[in-house]
């Protein structure tokens, strides 16, 4: 399976993609938190990854939406007619992303609003604790879009040991401090989440694109699931972590060990 990684802006690199070559576009962009996302302090032990960081600031929500719109628009020619698009965001922008995709593709292209519930993180005295991210999924053509319902362990006692079809609520733990796959890159997502999404939305031997690859989770998951993969990131640190990560077949981190954190950006 081939893997291509490029350092640069998604907007500049999108035209380098072959027309109608991508089966599944997954993007986990900065969430517009207004912060600089840094490797957590305890991850300094992670050695070469200790300084990984990126700016998560767009000025306004309108600027964030424009950032995403321009890049998605530039990527549309690279998608196959059967392709799916999944945009991973949170409560700050998921409603805007839904409207953006309605506008770009049409409301009838909506597939799912997936909830990734992960458990970790703090709580608030002012509202229910925010413990999920939103993954907004659209397709290009509802009659041709690829979908294979993934199976997850059944939770009822009656079905103990069996599996059931996954629902639109994906209960997958965030990476904890013992996770071997942890790289130290901030906002790294778990391989289990990406493997599930890829198995559902990308056909076997198809091609996955992650134009904001971060630590390269999507590319490792694609490799594990025997799909081709293409990844871009503007941050040279992300690109070097992803390249190292893709060397061993298991995709585990080159070094690991830090505290649990909220995966939300």
Site for ligand SAM, rule CB under 6 A? 9-10, 28-30, 54, 185, 187-189, 211-212, 214-215, 217, 232-235, 238, 265
Each as own residue / partner, the long-range contacts of residues 123-127 (CB below 8 Å, 24 or more positions apart, any chain) are: none
Nearer to ligand SAM, 74 or 115 (CB): 74
- The answer to whether 226 and 204 are in contact (CB under 8 A) is yes
Q: Give the DSSP letter string of 197-243.
A: HHHHHS-TT-EEEETT-TTTHHHHHHHHTT-EEEEEES-HHHHHHHH
Minimum CB separation from ligand SAM for residue 82, in Å?
24
Among candidate residues 77, 89, 81, the one with its CA nearest the CA of residue 27: 89
3-class secondary structure, 97: helix
Minimum CB separation from ligand SAM for residue 126, in Å?
25
Nearer to ligand SAM, 6 or 154 (CB): 6
Minimum CB separation from ligand SAM for residue 106, in Å?
25
CA-based R_g, the chain, Å? 18
Minimum CB separation from ligand SAM for residue 203, in Å?
22
Nearer to ligand SAM, 58 or 138 (CB): 58
Task: List the structure tokens of 68.
Answer: 């995403």
Residue nearest ligand SAM (C-beta atom): 214
Nearer to ligand SAM, 23 or 28 (CB): 28
Task: List the structure tokens of 145.
Answer: 């879009």
Nearer to ligand SAM, 109 or 182 (CB): 182
Minimum CB separation from ligand SAM for residue 242, in Å?
8
Task: List the structure tokens of 91.
Answer: 């409560």
Any idea what DSSP says for residue 46? G
């Amino acid at each position: 399976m081939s893997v291509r990684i490029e350092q640069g802006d998604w907007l500049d690199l999108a035209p380098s993609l072959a027309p109608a070559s991508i089966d599944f576009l997954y993007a986990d962009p900065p969430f517009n938190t207004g912060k600089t996302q840094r490797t957590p302090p305890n991850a300094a032990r992670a050695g070469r990854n200790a300084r990984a960081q990126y700016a998560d600031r767009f000025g306004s929500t309108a600027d964030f939406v424009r950032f995403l719109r321009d890049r998605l628009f530039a990527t549309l020619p690279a998608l196959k007619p059967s392709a799916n698009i999944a945009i991973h965001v949170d409560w700050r922008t998921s409603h805007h992303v839904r409207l953006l995709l309605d506008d770009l593709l049409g409301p009838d292209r909506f597939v799912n609003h997936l909830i990734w519930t992960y458990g970790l993180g703090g709580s608030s005295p002012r509202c229910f604790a925010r413990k999920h991210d939103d993954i907004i999924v659209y397709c290009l053509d509802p009659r041709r879009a690829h979908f294979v319902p993934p199976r997850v362990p059944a939770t009822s006692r009656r079905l103990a040991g069996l599996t059931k079809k996954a629902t639109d609520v994906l209960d997958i733990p965030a990476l904890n401090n013992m996770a071997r796959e942890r790289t130290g890159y901030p906002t790294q997502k778990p391989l289990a989440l990406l493997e599930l999404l890829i198995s559902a939305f990308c056909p076997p031997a198809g091609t996955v694109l992650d134009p904001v690859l971060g630590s390269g989770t999507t590319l490792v998951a694609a490799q594990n699931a025997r799909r081709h993969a293409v990844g871009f990131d503007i941050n040279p640190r992300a690109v070097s972590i992803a390249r190292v990560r893709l060397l061993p077949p298991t995709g585990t981190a080159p070094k690991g060990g830090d505290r649990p954190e909220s995966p939300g950006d």
